[in-house]
Chain A
Amino acid sequence: MSAMDRQPQIEKLETGIPGFDHISKGGLPKGRTTLVAGTAGSAKTVIACQFLAEGIEKADDSGVFITFEESPNDIRQNMLGLGWDIRSWETEGRWTFVDASPQPGQETVVVGDYDLGALLARIEYAIQKVGAKRVSMDSLGAIFTQFSDSATVRGELFRIASALKKMGVTAVMTAERTQEYGDIARFGVEEFVADNVIILRNVLEQEKRRRTVEILKFRGTSHQKGEFPFTVMPGQGVIVIPLSAIELKQKSSSVRISSGNEELDEMCGGGFFRDSIILVSGATGNGKTLMVTEFIAGGAANGERCLLFAFEESREQLFRNAEGWGIDFEQMEEEGRLKVVCEYPEVMGLEDHLIDMKTIIDEFKPNRVAVDSLSALERVSSIKGFREFVIGLTSFIKHEEIVGLFTATTPTLMGGTSVTEAHISTITDSIILLRYVEMYGEMRRGLTVLKMRGSMHDKDIREFTIDGQGMHIGKPFRDVTGILTGQPMHRAPVEIERISELFQE
């Protein structure tokens, strides 16, 4: 080992902001100042407040909040909605404001040289008063508009940053950006806090807002690279979704569980694996929701807890449909074996859906989770956001050792694949295709198990019917080809025999 390697690493301070400590590999560099830059509405103030709030709640660190823009009263009020009662922390002496916001109705004239000595004295005083370990300054741009001499302000901010370092506090300074992709911050503030830079973005993508956080640099220490989606949840604040934190370390179970349909179990070589992800793809009205219903009934019959996320149908519809197939959802729910969550995909962004779903899964602790349908969620996101959502959800479910059944709707009646499938197919352990088959002027239904990771399975395309008892899987379509491509061709049995003989020795 060389002398270099033995140098003590830069310590990090766990922020407590969910997900952030993961992408920053342990938090913010301790005893240093980090610049958080973002455009208007990119949640800079929330991050600045949360840094202190989490410190108080999780680490018992006191904090000083220096505000250049909003008045302390506005901040107290705004943050109540995120679950932070700043006023009570102030009373307990764990949070203190340094109010440097513009005072209305007060004209100030500049005559000659000045510095920001009073501000620095106030900051130092506040830090000593509450014994602060964390300091937030929000936002630097506002002080440049209060004082026209940017060179002086820059110099003074540099002096404040050095003073903070000397006092050993970990600080966050926020600054405005004018563009999502461009200069780091306005007024060149990055020049004096250049050690650590974090960028928050709030990009409009296909009419949807997408928030991301990127750690641009941490001098002398490592972090994860690239943009990570995050969301601001009421009562919780910022939650970063650390995609790269997902590890392919799930245990793999060889225990089989029933799909809720005996014939399908048989086709899958004895049922689904206990911690696998199954994708059911099919056109509208093809039997996907039925398969979900049977999957849940199969679990409940086995004494398992089942959770259903429905994004297409209402509770009443689902319960009525289930009843039509001879399954009593209401009773299952009464017995605590079923929870149905119905929601329109449009009510929130995909990141929020993901966090919501994780929370519900954590609370209900199901053995089975069904999502009907994943495709409906495609509507509320960009393709990239959707892919991240799917990866985030599947990895979470697998990690919890829950079996997950997702449905995907194909855009065309006959065959074809959907965006959902394109993004999820490699993550899933099993894929079941449901397809319409046109035969002699009649629509029939076909089913095949396309993939069954870690197991043998039936390769036939079988016909199935639906009646008051649910799904019945029958014989393979022997004399039809091209079902999956959506162009079924009928061939005389003689020809099929001839073709199969071609490959025999």
Chain B
Amino acid sequence: MDKVLLKLYVTGQTPKTERAIANLRRICEEDLGGQYEMAVIDVLERPQLAEDEKILATPTLVKMLPPPLRRVIGDLSDTEKVLLGLDMQPLEKGEEE
């Protein structure tokens, strides 16, 4: 399976930030089979990274790999929509074995 590289841009330690991180972890574990790399970037600490990536909203999830490059903004509370937005297929239950 292709390597999955995700970046999550957040603003400080807010409930929204924590919710987004938790939701993303769950989606990655449950639906992407744990094959992922994930970086959380706090724009308050590293504004230049947000500038380079032209991030406006937080939280913003950017799928760097595999292509195509996709963005999902929000607290990622709806798994189905997140996967649709990232253009990724959830693993079938049967495939996991």
Chain B residues with CB under 8 Å of A344's CB are none
Q: Give, as a whole number of angstroms, the nearest-CB distance from A195 to chain B.
A: 25
Is the beta-carbon distance between B77 and A117 smaller than 8 angstroms?
no
A111 and B54 contact, Cβ closer than 8 Å, known pairs A106-B71, A125-B48: no
- Identify which of B28-36, B55-63, B89-97 touches chain A: B55-63
The yes or no answer to A162 lying at the interface (CB within 8 A) is no
Is the beta-carbon distance between B11 and A121 smaller than 8 angstroms?
yes
Is the beta-carbon distance between A112 and B74 smaller than 8 angstroms?
yes
Q: Give, as a whole number of angstroms, the nearest-CB distance from A96 to chain B.
A: 9
Is the beta-carbon distance between A100 and B54 smaller than 8 angstroms?
yes
B17: nearest chain-A partner, CB-CB: A117
The yes or no answer to A110 lying at the interface (CB within 8 A) is yes
Chain B residues with CB under 8 Å of A124's CB are 47
Is the beta-carbon distance between A121 and B84 smaller than 8 angstroms?
no
Q: Which of B9, B58, B69 contacts A106 (CB 8 A)?
A: B69
Interface residues of A in 73-108 (CB under 8 A from B): 98-100, 103, 106-108
Is the beta-carbon distance between B58 and A118 smaller than 8 angstroms?
yes
Interface residues of A in 441-489 (CB under 8 A from B): none
Q: Which of B12, B56, B60, B74 contacts A100 (CB 8 A)?
A: B56
A-contact bits for B50-88, CB 8 A (1 contact / 0 none): 110011111110000000011111111110011011000
Q: Which of A99, A107, A112, A117 contacts B78 (CB 8 A)?
A: A112
Q: Which of A103, A112, A125, A147 contacts B77 (CB 8 A)?
A: A112
Q: Give, as a whole number of angstroms, the nearest-CB distance from A90 to chain B.
A: 13
Chain A residues with CB under 8 Å of B11's CB are 115, 117-118, 120-121
B42: nearest chain-A partner, CB-CB: A121
Total cross-chain contacts (CB, 8 A):
101
The yes or no answer to A114 lying at the interface (CB within 8 A) is yes
Chain A residues with CB under 8 Å of B75's CB are 111-114
The yes or no answer to A490 lying at the interface (CB within 8 A) is no
Chain A residues with CB under 8 Å of B59's CB are 114
A111 and B74 contact, Cβ closer than 8 Å, known pairs A116-B56, A116-B57: yes
Chain B residues with CB under 8 Å of A120's CB are 11
Give the secondary structure class of B's interface.
Answer: mixed
Q: Give, as a whole number of angstroms, the nearest-CB distance from A404 to chain B.
A: 56
Complex: A125 Cα to B85 Cα, angstroms:
30
Is the beta-carbon distance between B58 and A110 smaller than 8 angstroms?
no
The yes or no answer to B16 lying at the interface (CB within 8 A) is yes
Chain A residues with CB under 8 Å of B60's CB are 114, 118
Is the beta-carbon distance between A125 and B51 smaller than 8 angstroms?
yes
Chain B residues with CB under 8 Å of A113's CB are 16, 19, 74-75, 77
Chain A residues with CB under 8 Å of B77's CB are 111-113
Q: Which of B9, B54, B57, B70 contacts A147 (CB 8 A)?
A: B57
The yes or no answer to A492 lying at the interface (CB within 8 A) is no
Chain B: interface size category:
20 to 34
The yes or no answer to B39 lying at the interface (CB within 8 A) is no
A125 and B56 contact, Cβ closer than 8 Å, known pairs A109-B84, A111-B72, A114-B73: no
Q: Give, as a whole number of angstroms, the nearest-CB distance from A461 to chain B.
A: 76
The yes or no answer to B44 lying at the interface (CB within 8 A) is yes
Chain A residues with CB under 8 Å of B48's CB are 125
The yes or no answer to A418 lying at the interface (CB within 8 A) is no
Is the beta-carbon distance between B51 and A108 smaller than 8 angstroms?
no
The yes or no answer to A150 lying at the interface (CB within 8 A) is no
Chain A residues with CB under 8 Å of B81's CB are 109, 111
A111 and B47 contact, Cβ closer than 8 Å, known pairs A118-B56, A147-B57: no
Complex: A121 Cα to B11 Cα, angstroms:
8
The yes or no answer to A167 lying at the interface (CB within 8 A) is no
The yes or no answer to B4 lying at the interface (CB within 8 A) is no
B-contact bits for A176-205, CB 8 A (1 contact / 0 none): 000000000000000000000000000000
A115 and B58 contact, Cβ closer than 8 Å, known pairs A107-B71, A110-B73, A121-B44: yes
The yes or no answer to B43 lying at the interface (CB within 8 A) is yes
Complex: A122 Cα to B58 Cα, angstroms:
12
B79: nearest chain-A partner, CB-CB: A111
The yes or no answer to A146 lying at the interface (CB within 8 A) is yes
A147: nearest chain-B partner, CB-CB: B57
Q: Of residues B11, B54, B56, which shows the largest number of chain A Cβ atoms within 10 Å of its Cβ? A: B56
A120: nearest chain-B partner, CB-CB: B11
Is the beta-carbon distance between B16 and A121 smaller than 8 angstroms?
no
Q: Which of B50, B51, B58 contacts A114 (CB 8 A)?
A: B58
Chain A residues with CB under 8 Å of B19's CB are 112-113
Chain A residues with CB under 8 Å of B85's CB are 107-109, 111
Is the beta-carbon distance between B73 and A121 smaller than 8 angstroms?
no
A111 and B73 contact, Cβ closer than 8 Å, known pairs A117-B11, A118-B56: yes
The yes or no answer to A40 lying at the interface (CB within 8 A) is no
Complex: A120 Cα to B47 Cα, angstroms:
10
Complex: A111 Cα to B82 Cα, angstroms:
7
The yes or no answer to A119 lying at the interface (CB within 8 A) is yes
Complex: A136 Cα to B22 Cα, angstroms:
37
Q: Give, as a whole number of angstroms, the nearest-CB distance from A150 to chain B.
A: 14
Complex: A107 Cα to B73 Cα, angstroms:
11
Not counting A111-B85, A117-B58, a sample of 17 additional A-B residue pairs whose C-beta atoms are within 8 angstroms of each other reads A98-B51, A107-B85, A109-B81, A111-B73, A111-B74, A113-B16, A113-B77, A116-B58, A117-B10, A117-B57, A118-B11, A118-B43, A118-B50, A119-B57, A121-B44, A122-B47, A125-B51
12 contacts between A and B (CB under 8 A): A99-B54, A107-B70, A110-B74, A111-B76, A114-B59, A114-B60, A115-B57, A117-B57, A118-B58, A121-B11, A121-B44, A146-B56
